[in-house]
Structures are given as structure tokens and as C-alpha cells.
A and B are shown apart, each in its own frame.
Chain A
Amino acid sequence: METIKFLESGKLILEKWIESSQTPDENRLDIWISANNLKSVVQSLVENHWGYLVTITGLDIPAVYDQDNVEIQPGQLEALYHFANDAAIITIRVKVPYSKPQIDSICDLIPSATIYEREVIELFGFDLLNTPNTEKLILPDSWPDGVYPLRKSFTNLQDLEISKKEQSND
């Protein structure tokens, strides 16, 4: 079937950078790569005309604590780059820790990616290096800096105010 052929050809193109992969569905391939290989991966997809960038999804993976409240896994952000070729979808997945959320921007390879990058920067707090535009895309101008609404730790602005007051009172 064509879709399977597309997926296989895609996997072949990206083979040398794949750290782990998964096929959650017959038309989907998920590939985990390291953050510093992102540009090479995207470049090879673009050069081989494999599909188009559909969007960039952000995921928040909050920190994991054991029963003594000790952090056993620090908080992470994951960026998913979805590329679609007809019915086949390859998702490139990059994990970065909260403390160092830097990923290269892919806007010089795919100019239309700037909109998706802006969205993911302001909603999750990614730091996309060399992205051409970091202005707010959808959050209001009055939104406080450093507050990332789609992180699990954010509930709403009123709670944020209350916790800030508590912190300053301590």
C-alpha cells in the first residue's frame, strides 16, 4: 500500500538519526531524536520532498516525584513536528528539560513554520534559537511574562496571583 511505502521511505531517509521509533498506527511513524539533530532531520525530509509540515505540537511532561517528594525525573517539554505525505504521517519528537528548553528553529528551511513556533514558544516556554519572530501570536498583550498557560502547573491567572502573594508573604 502506498502509505506503507511512504513510511518506509521516510524511515530510510532518517535512519541515521533515529534514537527510537514506534508505529502507533498503520499510517503513523513516531521518531525520537536528539535536539541537536533536528535541523539535519528536517533538511533531509525537505530535500527529499517528503510531505509537508502540518504543525508543531507541544507537550508538557511534568516532574515525577516519589513518595518522599523527591524529584526522580525533572520536568520536560516535548516538541512534536508532524510531517504528512498523503495519508502517511511521520512525527519527529524532541524532548528537552525545563531547565534548558533550547531547540533550533527550522524557519530557514520551512518559512511557514514561524507561526507554529511562535505559538509553541508562548504557550509552553520553548526557546527556539534563531526563530525570526518571537512576538505574541495568540496570547493577549497584557499576559504576564514567563507564564506558560499550557503547562500542567498553570491553572488560571487568579490562582497565580494567590500563589505569588503567598510566596512574597513567606
Chain B
Amino acid sequence: MTEGKKEKFIVPIGPQHPALKEPGNFEFTVDGEIVTDAAVRLGFVHRGIEKACETRNYTQDLYLLERVCGICSHVHATAFVLGVEKLAGVQAPPRAEAIRVLAAELERIHSHLLWFGVAAHEAGFDTLFMYTWRDREVVMDILETLSGSRVHYSVNVLGGVKIDIDQKLSDLIKKDMDFLEERTEHYMKVVTTDETFLGRTRGIGTLSRDRAKLLGAVGPTARASGVKRDIRVNAPYSGYKEFPVKMVIDQTGDLEARFVVRLKELYESYRLIKVILEKIQPGDIVTRIKRKIPEGEVISRVEAPRGELFYYIKSNGTEMPDRVKVRTPSLCNWGTITDVAVGHKLADMPMLLAGIDPCFSCNDRMVEIRSDSQPSQIMDWDGLRKYGIEYYK
């Protein structure tokens, strides 16, 4: 039996761009070309939010919880607000619920385009990265016109929303959705027909349905393996009861499927936004809610762009919650990476990581992949990415 060359790589990874250094480490053991071990250690973005929630009142918590993550801030706020409204026995008016869904779908679009640009960059398609982020600016402009801010839109208040849409904005959004649909056609073509891209995604990182279920995968990562988990369909909340979505499933389970699922979800989002703008009824956008929330416990689950977001809120009759528990989707999906990475080539690591769309701040954590051999080498993410691109030339 020959001993393969065992090396341990420590790769610092960034959240969105290799040149963006996030204090994170990716460690894996490599035997020649093949990865043989991987593990997870988190903690660099841990800020103690759950504890801080207990010493602030519900309105302050709304703004705090929005900032758990900059990319999916609206869904965090929505999950919290839905939970608190349930505890208080208050139902937000239908127009407010529709606007919440509108903002959630816009956020999904911006998040998927962001992710797609980053994934394209990982594969070496820098032009595609620039194109997708330029198209993403269209959505950022809509969000800014809608709410006044490009990130952290603060659309929600306890009891409803604080922004409204008029006919002019509605027409603008519809036009932009048509434009984005055209652009997404182009991206879909690249993902499904471009040979270089397919060489890096087809058949790689396959996760079977049973394995995905066992590992607890959620979101597009799970749906790409045929697992039917989508909170908007399984347990509709807020405006999704009035404006339902279709679940996008793929049975293949490889990297290409994860790309295809997210792009198809973009189409669903465009469709849903146009339907909402067509059918939204005039009315109030907020109802009154008392400052002291009655005692109780509530569970609130919403579908973030990355998967299922879970909130557990316990109130004790005062103005401040007793306990707020947040479980973010990326946490579940880390488990799938450490499982799938083993047996793959080192050159596949960047794409595999991009495939699960990790969100570090959502996790309050970072990734480190352990191994048990020394000595360790430090290869930076850029180096690993270039290595992957060169390998597949």
C-alpha cells in the first residue's frame, strides 16, 4: 500500500469575493489530488445577538435582527415580525402582507444574482460576474426607490409595513422584471450549454435525495436533490397564502442542478412580482399593536433565499422578549459540504462551496476544515480558485 502525499491546506475564504478577506479558514486534508477529510468550526462573526435581544424592546430587536445578515435582512425581519404579531394576536392587513412578499421576492432575486455572479467568478467567468452584478443594480434601484436604502430596507414594522407602492413604481417594476427575465435567459443558456461551465458542474458534488434528507439540507441545495422542502409551499405564511408559488425541484442533485434550480426560482420570482402588482388591493398598510406582548411562545418559519429560516420567540408579558432563537439556513447546509467534499478533487472545492451559497454572517460563524496530518500549508482562496480554473482548462 503506497502512502499518498498527505498535505493539509488551510485556505482563508471570503464571503463573496476572493479578494475580500473574511476571517475564515478552510482546512482539508488532501491525498494527492483527492480530498480525504473536512470539518467545520465557526465563530468569527458571532456577535451575541440572541442575548442582546433580551435587553431591548421588540421594536429595537426588529432593527437588530435585520442586521444579522446584509443579504437576507428582510426575511429575518419578516420572520420576527410574523412571530410577534402572532403572539400579540394581531393580523397585518392584506396589503401589508402583499408588500412584504414583494420585498421578499425582490430580495430573493438580488441574492440569487449576487450568488450567481460570485459562482461565475469562482469558475473563472469574470465577465459574467460583472454582467450579473450590473443587472443586480436594477433590483437594487427598485429596492432603493421602494424603501430608501439599498441594503437593510426596513420595510417591516410591528403590525404591517411602512412603505407603499404607487402606480408609477408599479409600472417601473414590471418593466424591470421583463428586462431581468431576458437577461436570465442568457444566464440559463450559459449554465446549461457552455462546455467549460458544464465541465465544472455536471456530475460534480452529487448529493442523493436520501443523503440530503439525512444531512438535513434545506433550500435550493435540498431542492436540487429532489427533496421537497420549501416553506412557501409546505407551510404558506404572510402573503404567500394569497399569492402562491410553485416549488422548483430537480432530481439530479449535482452542482449543475443547484445552478438550474436557483435560476428557475428567479423566473418564479419575476412571475410572482408581476402577479402581485396586478392583483394587490388598496387598503391600510399597518394596524396597531400594543407595546407589551402577552406571554407565550411562537415558532416562525420563512423561506430565505438560502433555505428555511427558523425563529423561536418566547415572550413574558413585558416590552422585551424573554428568548429569541434564530436558526439560519446556511448552518444546515454546511453539513452537506463536509460530506460531499470527501472524494472530490481539490480543484472542485471552490465550486462546491459556491454551490451551497454559504452566508457567513447569517451563520454568525466561519468555516474551518480540520484534518489530522501535518505540516499545514497556507494557500489563499485566490490561489485555490486559480488552481481550479487551470485544472479544468
Contacts and interface: CB of A to CB of B under 8 A. Distances in A.
Contacts of B86: 25
Contacts of B335: 111-112, 115
Contacts of B50: 150
Interface of A is mostly: mixed
Nearest to A46: B214
Contacts of B296: 24
Q: Looking at chain A, what size class is its interface with the partner chain?
A: 35 or more
Interface of A: 3, 24-25, 27-28, 52-55, 57-60, 80, 82, 84, 86-87, 89, 91, 110-112, 115-116, 135-141, 149-150, 154
B327 A149 contact: no
Given A24-B297, A54-B308, A138-B43, A112 B215 contact: yes
A80 B312 contact: yes
B301 interface: yes
A86 to B, nearest CB: 4
Contacts of A28: 299
Given A135-B41, A137-B365, A138-B364, A84 B46 contact: no
Given A86-B234, A112-B335, A52 B301 contact: no
Interface string B20-47: 0000000000000000000011110010
B23 to A, nearest CB: 11
Contacts of A84: 301
B29 to A, nearest CB: 17
B46 A140 contact: yes
B298 to A, nearest CB: 7
B314 interface: yes
What 4 pairs between A and B have smallest CB-CB spacing?
A87-B235, A112-B216, A55-B327, A138-B46
Given A111-B214, A150-B51, A137 B332 contact: no
Contacts of A110: 216
Interface string B298-330: 110100000010101010000000010101000
A115 B310 contact: no
Interface string B105-143: 000000000000000000000000000000000000000
